Amino acid sequence: MDRIAITGGARLEGEIPISGAKNSAIKLMAASLLTEEPLRLTNMPRLADTRFLGRLLQRLGAEVIESDGIDGAETLLTTREIVSGFAPYDLVRQMRASFNVLGPLLARNGQAKVSLPGGCTIGARPVDLHLKALEALGAKIDLHEGYVYAQAPRGLTGGEVDFPFVSVGATEHTLLAAVLAQGVTVMRNAACEPEITDLADCLNKMGAKVTGAGTPTITIEGVSRLSGASHAVLPDRIETGTYALAAAMAGGEVRLTRTRSDFIQALIDKMVEAGVEVTSHNDGLTVKRNGGRLKAVELTTDPYPGFATDLQAQFMALMTLADGESVIRETIFEN
């Protein structure tokens, strides 16, 4: 698509069902490498990222079947055996999160060769925390010509993982590796995002023993094998927040369904402060603005449950309509 033409000036009215969360779905797909049995994921988003990861998983040995069920789009992933432990750059570069296949490959297969994901335009996003966590679980890590060579021929072992700062990706990656490690793993200063809890819930359905997900301390008691399971991907809080802000910008009344308002409470608080009417209900929320002037507010992005960095650009656009001076402070990414 070369361009998008937008004719403005219309109020937004109606109901929008929210999709499954991309940031959760791609880590849940990676979890399919941990078992030879089928993993059925429902409420799946259909996006380029999930298709890219599906191709990588197929290269590693997974069978990936997409379909439409009564619970919406679903994906069935079955990895009866790992046919390759190699994730090349041409696939990993298309999506950073595909780097997270390293932990499951190492946990189940004892070795892996995975490309480093490369740079990122929003700022430095190094994977050193991921690698240090895997080393804490007994993995031998070597870096050579842009690839991570990881080995644990006798399997991973439980260990203490203390993150110097909160990292969602490193927390998820450690979870994916530690569930098959021998012994107990304790993560401290872990990320608390809903996507972490969603991954832990799915892994527990598969037979893992994870406690504390959603808190800064997560404990994983390793098991020898995992089984198949069926799991519904949680609703996408960034999509929820983006549509909520669109309704606030254009005015009107929009009902967002199949989602949870508590996932974006920090955003709702700021929207209400700015003069937007937000009402929560059982299956989502309703956003209403009927021509009233918006007030400028200040906010700072923070790790969950703070204001999400992925919503600050949209909120900045909203604040261009507000009376007064608003200030947004970004603390997650430098660019």
Report helix angle 128-136 to 102-109, nearest 10. 20
Helix or strand holding residue 13 (H, E):
strand 12-17
Show which of 178, 208, 232 is a domain's final residue: 232
pLDDT at 285 > cutoff 90 = yes
Residue 110 lies in a domain: yes
Residue 300 lies in a domain: yes
Residues 270 and 299 sit within 8 Å (Cβ to Cβ):
yes
**pLDDT tens sequence across 29-53:** 999 999 999 999 999 999 999 999 9
Residue 29 lies in a domain: yes
Show which of 232, 259, 284 is a domain's final residue: 232
Instruction: Give me the pLDDT at residue 123, please.
Output: 44
Instruction: Give me the pLDDT at residue 124, please.
Output: 44
Across the range 229-234, mean pLDDT stands at 97
For the chain, give the number of residues.
335
User: Are 33 and 154 in the same domain?
Assistant: yes
Residue 1 lies in a domain: no
DSSP letter string over 268-311? HHHHHHHT-EEEEETTEEEEEE-SPPEEP-EEEB-STTSB-GGG
User: Are 172 and 68 in the same domain?
Assistant: yes
**Integer CA distances (angstroms), 67 to 31, 43, 45, 207, in order:** 19, 11, 12, 25
Domain with 321 in it: what CATH number?
Answer: 3.65.10.10
pLDDT at 236 > cutoff 50 = yes
**pLDDT tens sequence across 137-181:** 999 999 988 899 999 999 999 999 999 999 999 999 999 999 999
User: Are 205 and 218 in the same domain?
Assistant: yes
Q: Domain of 294?
A: 12-18+236-329
User: Are 300 and 187 in the same domain?
Assistant: no
Instruction: Give me the pLDDT at residue 125, please.
Output: 52
Residue 4 lies in a domain: no
Q: If pLDDT is split at 50, 70 and 90, which confidence band does 72 have?
A: confident
Residues 236 and 19 sit within 8 Å (Cβ to Cβ):
yes
pLDDT at 332 > cutoff 90 = no
pLDDT over 90 percentage in the chain: 87
120 a catalytic residue: yes
Among candidate residues 120, 143, 313, 317, the one labeled active-site is: 120
Across the range 188-198, mean pLDDT stands at 97
Q: What is the mean pLDDT of the chain?
A: 94
Residue located via tokens 């937004």 = 12
Instruction: Give me the pLDDT at residue 156, please.
Output: 97
Residues 222 and 179 sit within 8 Å (Cβ to Cβ):
yes
Residue 2 lies in a domain: no
**Closest residue by Cα to residue 317 from 240, 217, 215, 248:** 248
Across the range 89-106, mean pLDDT stands at 88
d(CA 213, CA 216): 8
d(CA 4, CA 178): 45
pLDDT at 101 > cutoff 60 = yes
User: Are 259 and 165 in the same domain?
Assistant: no
More confident residue, 71 or 289: 289
User: Are 114 and 178 in the same domain?
Assistant: yes
Q: Which pTM does this prediction carry?
A: 0.93
User: Are 196 and 296 in the same domain?
Assistant: no
Burial class (CB in 10 A: 0-12, 13-18, 19+), 1: exposed
More confident residue, 25 or 90: 25
Q: Which amino acid belongs to residue 122?
A: I
Structure tokens at 19: 């999709």
Q: How many domains does the chain have?
A: 2
User: Are 94 and 35 in the same domain?
Assistant: yes
User: Are 215 and 282 in the same domain?
Assistant: no
Show which of 232, 261, 277 is a domain's final residue: 232
Instruction: Give me the pLDDT at residue 118, please.
Output: 65
Q: Is the peptide bond before 305 cis (omega within 30 degrees of 0)?
A: yes
User: Are 183 and 217 in the same domain?
Assistant: yes
Q: What is the rounded end-to-end Cα distance, in angstroms, of the chain?
A: 26
pLDDT at 117 > cutoff 90 = no
pLDDT at 120 > cutoff 60 = no
d(CA 312, CA 50): 24
Name 36's Cβ contacts closer than 8 Å, sequence gap at least 6: 78, 79, 80, 81
Q: If pLDDT is split at 50, 70 and 90, which confidence band does 333 have?
A: confident
User: Are 210 and 155 in the same domain?
Assistant: yes
Residues 123 and 195 sit within 8 Å (Cβ to Cβ):
no
Structure tokens at 317: 């656009």
Residue 287 lies in a domain: yes
How far, in whole angstroms, is CA 126 from its chain's centroid?
Answer: 17
pLDDT at 238 > cutoff 50 = yes
User: Are 253 and 295 in the same domain?
Assistant: yes
d(CA 55, CA 5): 32
Residue 124 lies in a domain: yes
